[in-house]
Amino acid sequence: MSETEIIIEPGRQDVVFKKVFDAPRDIVFRALTDPDLVPRYWGPARYETIVDVMEPREGGRWRYVQRGPEGEFAFHGVYHEVTPERIVQTSEFEGAPGVPALEWATLEEHDGKTFYVAVSLAPSVEIRDAVVASGMESGARELYDRLDELIEGLLARP
Amino acid sequence: MSETEIIIEPGRQDVVFKKVFDAPRDIVFRALTDPDLVPRYWGPARYETIVDVMEPREGGRWRYVQRGPEGEFAFHGVYHEVTPERIVQTSEFEGAPGVPALEWATLEEHDGKTFYVAVSLAPSVEIRDAVVASGMESGARELYDRLDELIEGLLARP
């Protein structure tokens, strides 16, 4: 399993996530866009994730609910683009409604591996810093490790 | 007619537009969301703007085509939120496909005037700077002046 590289530069509005999956792109894309698979990796493992809405296509909507010891949290957004090369969506935390983040992921395949780069762009530096302070980094590492495990499992039993 | 304030700070990914319309919010909101009105102010006056698609609601899509002496240009995106208080959308220039900008406008009414603040957030500082260098500022001033005139006309003959 590869390390997740997380880049958080001071004064910027974005956080960048890089990961290399030892699997072809179509498998990674499937894991990212199949509503039945999302609950198996999205968010920290101590939360249950419920996919309330997921329409992975241009103009489609998504909404995930997380249930955990601290209560229930929900996130939602719309998809701007969904292709095996790039997924672009908005993402709003319903606990702090306002302007959403813009999130995009690019997927490139080389020699059977998928090079994944995701960017989360906050509407301000202050909001990005607040999200980082809330523990986003450890949550993201857990998410990407679980996604990696899921993808390994899909490769073994497609 | 009020001046359009445009804020472009070095090293940032956004451009901020501020305008005070001498009209109640429902009139400004109508001008921003009525497909029949958009061609009357969107873009520089020397271009004809055609509203190809405009579904101003969460998950709706939009696509505008501009025809001018230099040829035809198109922009498209999806709406994340459309309320009289806030419009949030993505915006991609089809001549340079990639990650879209995130655009949002907030509308507040005080004493019969509407205080409008719009932000265009580019996926990188470099892309923001390229858009600014392409003449975005003068184009935006023209757009907001034409919008202001249209709103004056709607007030006179609602």
d(CA B19, CA A62): 33
Q: Which residue of A has its CA nearest to B121?
A: A123
Quick one: which of A120, A117, A97, A121 has its CA closest to A107? A117
Cβ within 8 Å, pair B123-A121: yes
Q: Calculate helix-pair angle for B125-133, B136-156, nearest 10 degrees.
A: 70
pLDDT of B148 over the 90 cut: yes
d(CA A53, CA A55): 7
Q: What does the pLDDT average to over A7-15? A: 93
* Candidates A15, A55, A78, A103, partner chain B, best to mutate (most B CBs within 10 A): A78
By a Cβ cutoff of 8 Å, what residues of chain B touch chain A? 11, 13-14, 55, 58-61, 77-81, 86, 88, 90, 92, 99-100, 102, 104, 119, 121, 123
- List the beta strands (DSSP E) in chain B: 5-7, 14-21, 48-54, 61-68, 71-82, 86-93, 101-110, 113-121
| Interval B22-57: pLDDT, tens | 999 999 999 999 999 999 999 888 899 999 999 999
Number of neighbouring beta carbons within 10 Å of residue B70: 9
Cβ within 8 Å, pair B100-A78: no
- Scored b (16 or more CB within 10 A) or e, B7-24 reads eeeeebbbbebbbbbebe
d(CA A100, CA B80): 8
pLDDT at site A158? 61
pLDDT at site B156? 87
Chain B CB contacts of A121 under 8 Å are 13, 102, 121, 123
| Interval A96-138: pLDDT, tens | 899 999 999 999 999 999 999 999 999 999 999 999 998 889 9
CB nearest A121 (choices: B59, B86, B102): B102
pTM value is 0.94
CB pairs under 8 A between A and B: 68
Distance of CA A128 to the CA centre of its chain: 16
Residue A42 corresponds to which amino acid?
A: W
| Interval A32-69: pLDDT, tens | 999 999 999 998 888 999 999 999 999 999 999 999 88
d(CA B103, CA B14): 9
CB nearest A61 (choices: B58, B99, B100): B58
Residue B50 has which token pair? Answer: 């055609």
pLDDT at site A70? 83
Q: CB-based burial of residue A115 (10 Å sphere; 0-12 exposed, 13-18 middle, 19+ buried)? A: middle
pLDDT at site A149? 96
pLDDT of B158 over the 70 cut: no
pLDDT at site A129? 95
Q: What does the pLDDT average to over B76-97? A: 96
Mean pLDDT rounded to a whole number for chain B: 95
Q: What does the pLDDT average to over B88-104? A: 95
